[in-house]
Structure 1
C-alpha cells in the first residue's frame, strides 16, 4: 500500500483504507473516515473554546479594570488637590 510509505496517515486511516480495498467498499470506508475526522475536529474545537473562554474573560477584566482605574484616579487626585487648597 503506497499510503503506508508516506507516514502521513494514522494507523486507523490505513486500516480503513486496507479494509475498504479488500471488501470493495472503499467509498463507504472513506466516508466513515471523513466522519471520524470531522467528529475529532469538532471535539478539538470545543475543547479549545472551553480553554480560551476563561483566558479571554480574565483579559477582558484586566482591560476594563485598567480603564476604570484610569478614569477614577484623576478624580481622586483632584479631591486631594482641592483639600490642599483650603
Structure 2
C-alpha cells in the first residue's frame, strides 16, 4: 500500500498531515510566512517520503528508528546550511 505508484492520494494526505503539524512551529520563527510554508512543505514531504518508503521496503532491513534518525540528521544539516548562507 505504501509504494509510490499505488496510493498517490494516501501519500499526499499523509504528507499533508505532517505539514499541518509543522506549520504552527515554523510560522512562529523569524522567517516570513511564505518561507514557513515552503519549509513545512519541504520537511513534511521529506519525513512522509522516508516513512512511506520504509513501509514499502525500499530501505531493506533498516529499522524505522534508523530511517528517522538519518532523515532528522539530514534535515538538520540542511537547516544549518540554509541558516549559515543567509545574509
Report the TM-score range of the alignment, normalised by the length of the smaller protein.
0.3 to 0.5
**Greater gyration radius:** 1
TM-score, normalising length: structure 2? 0.43
Which protein, 1 or 2, shows the higher relative CO under an 8 Å CA cutoff with sep ≥ 6?
Answer: 2
TM-score, normalising length: structure 1? 0.44
